[in-house]
Amino acid sequence: MLEIDAVTCTKQDRCLFDSLSFTLHAGQIMQIEGPNGAGKTSLLRIIAGFARADEGQIRYNSTDIRDDYDSFAADLLFIGHKTGVNQQLSAYENVQHWLMVHGAQADEEEVYTLLAKLGLIGLEDVPVRTLSAGQQRRVALVRLWLNQAKLWVLDEPFTALDKKGVAMLQTQFQSHLDKGGAILLTTHQDLTAHFAQLQTLALEYRL
């Protein structure tokens, strides 16, 4: 599904990784590990198409993502460090806005049920800036339940989440994998759930 072909990235004269190649198939989950500064986020941003690799190619279904970015984007769900949740809007408004710009629609009840499931009951209509860090992250993670993207690219999805939240997220990962999706994530924690199709990629800090 996703092929990373000889990707090289250099930042401030430091080579983060060079000629990195791997393939991610449908139904697979890949965890990228490495110390701070090893280039995990840079790699994810290159794969999501935000940054350009110095060399190499990212292919999605055998097409270079740069050639047809819009259809790649339709299959991509990216949640980064900066989650894209507006601080002034409420959780409900944030979710609805995100759905609209991603070509999806959900009725009010569905969104409220999901927000309640994620422990945001009673907090749906207050500005997100008044919520705690973990709750703000949950507002962004609602997207995992409301998308039809095949490829999930998640940068540190467990940051600020409590144990219950981490477990719930991993259950959702499993159901995405069962539906034939693929997940690429970075995390410093070990995944607590057992995934049959787990691959690990270790990036090392290079000088």
Partner 1 sequence: MQTQHSYWLAFKSVYAKDVTLAFRQRAEIVNPLLFFLIVITLFPLAIGPEPALLTRMAPGIIWVAALLSTMLGLDKLFRDDYNDGSLEQLIASPYPLSLSVLAKVAAHWTVSGLPMVVLAPLFALLMNLESQSLNATVLTLLIGTPLLSFIGAIGAGLTVALQKGGILMSLLVLPLYIPVLIFATSAIDTSSMSLAYGGQLAILGAMLAVAIVAAPIAISSALRVSVS
122 binds partner 1 (CB under 8 A): no
Please choose, out of 13-21, 44-52, 171-179, 194-202, the segment that lies near partner 1 by the rule CB under 8 A: 44-52
Contacts (CB under 8 A) with partner 1, residues 49-68:
49-52
Radius of gyration of the chain (CA): 17
Q: Binding partner 1 by CB under 8 A: which of 9, 20, 32, 85?
A: 85
Give the residue from 181, 99, 101, 89 showing the smallest Cα distance to 130: 89
Q: Tell me which of 19, 23, 63, 105 binds partner 1, using CB under 8 A.
A: 105
What is the dihedral sign for C-alpha 110, 114, 119, 125? negative
Q: CB of residue 117 vs partner 1: minimum separation in angstroms?
A: 14
Binding partner 1 (rule: CB under 8 A), the pick from 13, 70, 178, 190 is: 70
Task: Note whether 188 and 161 are within 8 A (CB).
Answer: no
Q: Which is nearer to partner 1, 11 or 25 (CB)?
A: 11
CA dihedral 69, 73, 74, 77 (to 10 degrees): 170
- Report yes or no: 76 and 151 within 8 Å, Cβ to Cβ: yes
**Interface with partner 1 in residues 133-192 (CB under 8 A):** 146-148
